[in-house]
Amino acid sequence: MRHEPLLLLRDLACGYGAQRVVQNLNLHLNRGDIGCLLGPSGCGKTTTLRAIAGFEPVHQGEIRLGETVISRADFTLAPEKRRIGMVFQDYALFPHLTVAENIAFGIRKHPERQRIVEEMLELVHLAALGRRYPHELSGGQQQRVALARALAPEPELLLLDEPFSNLDVELRRRLSHEVRDILKARGTSAILVTHDQEEAFAVSDQVGVFHDGRLEQWDTPFNLYHEPLTPFVASFIGQGYFIRGQLIDPETVQTELGVIHGNRAYTWPAGSSVDVLLRPDDIVYSPESPLRALIIGKTFLGASTLYRLQLPTGNQLVTIFASHDDYLTGQEVGIAIAADHLVVFPAQGSIDARQTLPFAAAPL
């Protein structure tokens, strides 16, 4: 597979009217890759997608598709000329057309229209449903039709705007994997917009985390979780808590959990106050450990159980233990740190030991 950039956003600023929602945006998507714009509501991810599609002009910078500039401050190539496909949140299927006719809508003048429609129906596993109408399909089947319709003209880039948000949780999970398989089978490059981390990680090769109109990090799902570049990325991705610590040397921090030694070196002076990120998999059950914590909440996950723990200082952590051991809320357990990495940031403000931090795990 070729790994040259297909989509390039350079120093981009965009928004609605005179309002700039997104600032100083730089990212690139390689040909054949699937990227995701991830973030909370109002962060700028949908605005960016609409600018890529050509629905909104840009205020600054440029957008390139291959070697072609498709948007800049004084120029916006019309959406229909961009060779970009779009899958909308509400599917936008034509109710008076059959499944096959919906798929054929964008290739009505193509000499091999019938062959392409049949290929698309096979690709999205709807070969037997070509003569049905949208109202006769389930939500997941309608989404497959929308995907097939967008892929039929063979776009260079496919944009998906919250494509699974109208589906139930289990169907979203299953369909997100199916969509990735379909796009990879076609070699289609795509950008997905979502606020769902699990969905983003299931579908994407690269994920961009947005916050207040700025791209905080564009990276692989693995690196976003294990190598967050900013406190916001650390807080938004996955589950975890910060605890206060003091830097002993570039790779070692003293905390209330003891000394944590990792595989990352930091250049701040010894004695600097830092916030240490701890994920659930960094805390392990250790019955003989002198370090004790009180279980104040739990969620059974099947193969494992997520526990919320309170330290003697009042600070809280989350951990995952194997589900065959069932500990009770109010029970004290021994824990230990099992982290060969060290993710720390300069200390931000003061931490109230009685309060969880903003990016704590979902309530138990």
Same domain, 222 and 247: no
- What digits encode the pLDDT tens for the residues 10-47? 999 999 877 889 999 999 999 999 999 999 989 999 99
Same domain, 69 and 187: yes
| CATH number of the domain bearing residue 117 | 3.40.50.300
pTM, full prediction: 0.87
Same domain, 50 and 157: yes
Same domain, 162 and 49: yes
Same domain, 213 and 259: no
**Domain final residue pick, 204, 226, 248:** 226
In this structure, is residue 295 part of a structural domain? Answer: yes
98-101, long-range: CB < 8 A, 24+ apart = 98/130, 98/131, 98/132, 98/133, 99/126, 99/129, 99/130, 99/131, 99/132, 99/133, 99/134, 99/137, 99/145, 100/130, 100/131
- Provide the domain count of the chain: 2
More confident residue, 8 or 349: 8
Same domain, 151 and 243: no
Kindly indicate the confidence band of residue 167, based on its pLDDT and cuts at 50, 70 and 90. Answer: confident
Kindly indicate the confidence band of residue 252, based on its pLDDT and cuts at 50, 70 and 90. Answer: very high
Same domain, 49 and 83: yes
| CATH number of the domain bearing residue 326 | 2.40.30
pLDDT at 59: 95
Task: State the Cα–Cα distance between residues 302 and 179, nearest whole angstrom.
Answer: 26
**What pairing do the DSSP bridges indicate for beta strands 34-38 and 206-211?**
parallel
Q: With 70 as the cut, is the pLDDT of residue 169 above it? A: yes
Q: With 90 as the cut, is the pLDDT of residue 172 above it? A: no
- What digits encode the pLDDT tens for the residues 179-199? 999 999 999 999 999 999 999
- What digits encode the pLDDT tens for the residues 296-345? 999 999 999 999 999 998 989 999 999 898 999 999 999 999 887 889 99
pLDDT at 3: 67
Same domain, 253 and 339: yes
In this structure, is residue 284 part of a structural domain? Answer: yes
Same domain, 182 and 283: no
Same domain, 170 and 63: yes
Q: With 90 as the cut, is the pLDDT of residue 354 above it? A: no
Span 103-129, average pLDDT: 94
Same domain, 251 and 290: yes
- What digits encode the pLDDT tens for the residues 286-298? 999 999 999 999 9
Span 118-136, average pLDDT: 95
Same domain, 280 and 143: no
In this structure, is residue 92 part of a structural domain? Answer: yes
Domain span at residue 342? 239-346
In this structure, is residue 356 part of a structural domain? Answer: no
pLDDT at 352: 39
Kindly indicate the confidence band of residue 349, based on its pLDDT and cuts at 50, 70 and 90. Answer: low
Give Cα separations from 7 to 26, 29, 50, 191 (angstroms). Answer: 11, 5, 14, 10
In this structure, is residue 233 part of a structural domain? Answer: no
